[in-house]
Structure 1
């Protein structure tokens, strides 16, 4: 059975220029997206159960591909639920729901979980992310048992960062999933 990828966006979902959206368009057979009822008013007790609902419906092995507050959604999900379908998580630019003054309206995402994730994971962070200091991102990675990758000055690693389809991110994801993204499919790396 082929692997799948489930995008877990953050606040406002991911617009048309965001790498998550671009990857979904490039690989429509293997990428899907969590659908939250309200992308503009994040409530943990709504976002986490919605993620669980979609994970329950997955057809097979899946890597979570989270961005920003989506990373915190995954971390909270892993505290409350489990699934043998989840084989890993790429956690990009985790938003610091505890210390970022820009996130004072999110509900229930604090305290940020500190328990290790029960699957392989990589945290990717930037040195000039307005939603989390690089040291905090490293702490999240350490707490979650994740590999940590600092990609330098890339802002919030989103559409504003001008990454387009973000080839470096694809390489990191391929390493994590042990799969090569080719056309609309993923093939296992020998």
Structure 2
């Protein structure tokens, strides 16, 4: 699938993805890409976040491809069963948090009990081997449960601005690979 043939919905995590973050850069770069905004970025509520994601998918005029980072991966997985059948063609899932891990932020507790059902669309789960929010073993469990292809990005932290991932060209190559599969 060509990027121009899909609505690329970009889902930032807790605190939003600020200026310079790879998600913001990609939203500016893709002609059909846009950030799905949330009313509350710093004190998130699962119901509100999933409703915004489902609404954005339903409003899309083309097939949808999702790009989620961190807590938004959890929100996407919670929302997946509510998407219109066949509308979402794929998802890039980056740095999902382990809700049972010691580093998980208190603000995201309403997102607990993330479903472990296979996602109804192809997905690529990208994680770092030294992310403080998820261990490689836990990420592998998530990928298996969701039916996602798993890619370890090396020692890349949480794959955000703080870990040096502004443009993140390697991620763009992974996204291109996902688009070629769908």
> Taking structure 1 as the reference length, what is the TM-score of the superposition?
0.88
The correspondence for 2:174, drawn from 169, 172, 175, is 172
Taking the TM superposition and a 5 Å limit, the aligned residue runs for 1:3-18 are 3-18=6-21
Q: 1:113 corresponds to which residue?
A: 115
Q: Which runs of 5+ in 1 are unaligned?
A: 180-187
Q: 1:64 corresponds to which residue?
A: 66
Taking the TM superposition and a 5 Å limit, the aligned residue runs for 1:15-26 are 15-26=18-29
Over aligned residues, Cα RMSD in angstroms?
1.7
Call closer, same or farther: CA 1:64–1:100 in 2, change over 3 Å.
Answer: farther
Taking the TM superposition and a 5 Å limit, the aligned residue runs for 1:150-165 are 150-165=152-167
Taking the TM superposition and a 5 Å limit, the aligned residue runs for 1:80-119 are 80-119=82-121
Q: Which runs of 5+ in 2 are unaligned?
A: none
Equivalent-residue separation in structure 2 for 1:17 and 1:6 (angstroms): 18
> Taking structure 2 as the reference length, what is the TM-score of the superposition?
0.92
Query: Displacement, 1:129?
Result: 0.6
Equivalent-residue separation in structure 2 for 1:42 and 1:20 (angstroms): 19
- Does structure 1 conserve the Cα–Cα contact (< 8 Å) formed by 2:65 and 2:90? yes
Equivalent-residue separation in structure 1 for 2:102 and 2:40 (angstroms): 21
Structure having the higher helix fraction is 2
Query: Displacement, 1:115?
Result: 0.2
Query: Displacement, 1:134?
Result: 1.4
DSSP-derived class of the 1:157 partner = coil
Structure having the higher strand fraction is 1
Q: 1:124 corresponds to which residue?
A: 126
Q: 2:5 corresponds to which residue?
A: 2
Query: Displacement, 1:107?
Result: 3.7
Equivalent-residue separation in structure 2 for 1:108 and 1:136 (angstroms): 20
Q: 1:184 corresponds to which residue?
A: none
- Does structure 2 conserve the Cα–Cα contact (< 8 Å) formed by 1:55 and 1:83? no
